[in-house]
Structure 1
Amino acid sequence: MIISAGIHIGMLIIIALGMDFSDKPKPQPQVRALAMKAVVVDQKLVAQHVERLKAEKREVARKEKARQDDLERRATEARQQREREQAQIKKLEIERKQKEIETKNALAAAKAAQLKLKQEKEKALQAEEFRKQKEKERQASEEAAKKAEAKLKQEEAAAKKAADERKRKAEADRKRKEDAERKRKAEERERQLQEQMMQDALAEEQAALSQTRNRQVMSEVQRYTSMIRATIQRHLLVDESMRGKTCRVFIRLANDGFVTGTKILSGDSAVCHATQAAINKAGRLPVSSEPNVYNELKEINLTVQPEFN
């Protein structure tokens, strides 16, 4: 309405300015035509102006709506941004708590692992000590076995040497025996002749001395038994394991003391083995030339016990 009033007022002013107030009268038809023309032009301008004002109003409304839409969009974006930030914060908080739990669990696991590692190290050290101890025991056992093996080899070598020596001696003794047997037979024949000649003369004396002789024979048997045992002891190879142990052996002797046979009766195997080796090494044992004494000694059971200095 204000715009319309302003337009009409402008039109009236234009009409007034177009009027001639001089005394000279003007033709009326021309004035009316001009007025009508001015009204038409004015209505057209008013229409254009109104249309321009409507367009401006629509533009203002459009801009306002655009501004409102932009504000609403920004508000929505801001709200969504806040929601995203809150969700991110909540997520970060959850992750932080989870990391704290994981850190605590990791620390607990690390402590448990350290404790387990320490226990395993202690077990490993104990196992290593046990292994070293067993290794020492094994080495000691192997060393003892080597020494025993070496000693056994020495004994076997000594026994072989003694056997070889015995064979050599046996051959020499065989020859010597053959010579001695021929000599003995000759001497025996001579002795028999002498004994035959003396037999009658000594008969009474023999009867008188019988008891005394028997005592002498037994004394000689004991003496020669001790001598036989001493001879075996001299050739006996002993070690500490034989202490307090014995061996009982059967020995058969020739009348010159040569060992013709042996047999282990009982006793410790090591002592018996050493006793057998000592007898073989000796080859010949002390015997009496007296027949009565020899008869008591030609087959004897002897107990041998190693002696230690």
Structure 2
Amino acid sequence: MAQKSDFTLPIVISAGIHIGVLMILVMGVDFSDKPKPQPQVSAPAMKAVVVDQKLVAQHVERLKAEKRELARKEKARQDDLERQATEARQQREREQAQIKKLEIERKQKEIETKNALAAAKAAQLKQKQEKEKAQQAEEFRKLKEKERQASEEAAKKAEAKRKQEEAVAKKAADERKRKAEAERKRKEEDERKRKALERERQLQEQMMQDALAEEQAALSQTRNRQVTGEVVKYTSMINATIARYVQKEESMRGKSCTVFVRLAKDGFVTTSRIVEGDPVLCRATQAAIQRAQRLPVSSEPDVYEKLKELNIIYRPTFN
């Protein structure tokens, strides 16, 4: 509002001056015009009119000079007013810029103040938290100290108990060691006696085994001879049985055929296969075995073992 009133007064004054000048100009217009035709007068009258016109012209010139002076002064005043207005505007702009700068600074100060308050609150909160943390740490330390003391006390009791138990265990271990040593010596003595008896028993068994072996060898030789004799006997009986079934031809004279046979315990021929020999004789020999179906075999196991798989060599005889 103050700035607006500063411009109102100069404007009103300027407007008044312009109106006054305009009125003077309007009123003085007739003085600059050419004089109107006048009625014919006498010379004295004309002289008086001329004088009056000079006075009027002088008056008009004076008025015009005053008017120009007023216009000059008015222009100077207007220029001064415009200068003042420009200075006032510039001053106002400077003031507004200063106000704006101060406002920015004020807001910056407010922000800094808020930040400082926030930082102070944060610092107080952190200090409070650190204090609480320190209190908790101290309480935890005290608790741990109590636990440590209790643990040390328990460790001392455990150590005393351990030493006592170790003493008891050592005594028991010494007793066990003494008993183990006595037991070891007893076992060594028993083992020595056992080995001596074992050597004696083995010597007796060896002597008995040697005697039995000699007897078995003698019996085995006798039995082997018997088995061999039985095998020879039954081989001859098998050849005789085959001979009964072979259809002889003169072309077989002086020839032989070897046939492999496998016999069941009752003498039944389970397998017969030509090994080598005259083809005609071998076919006849194999046919004879198939017709016979069973061949002589011993019921004695050891003799049967020699006869159950046998290569029969058959040679036909002619009268």
Fold equivalence (TM over 0.5)? no
- The structure that has the greater radius of gyration is 2
User: Bigger relative contact order, structure 1 or 2, given CA contacts below 8 A and separation 6+?
Assistant: 1
Please report the TM-score for the alignment, with normalisation by the length of structure 1. Answer: 0.38
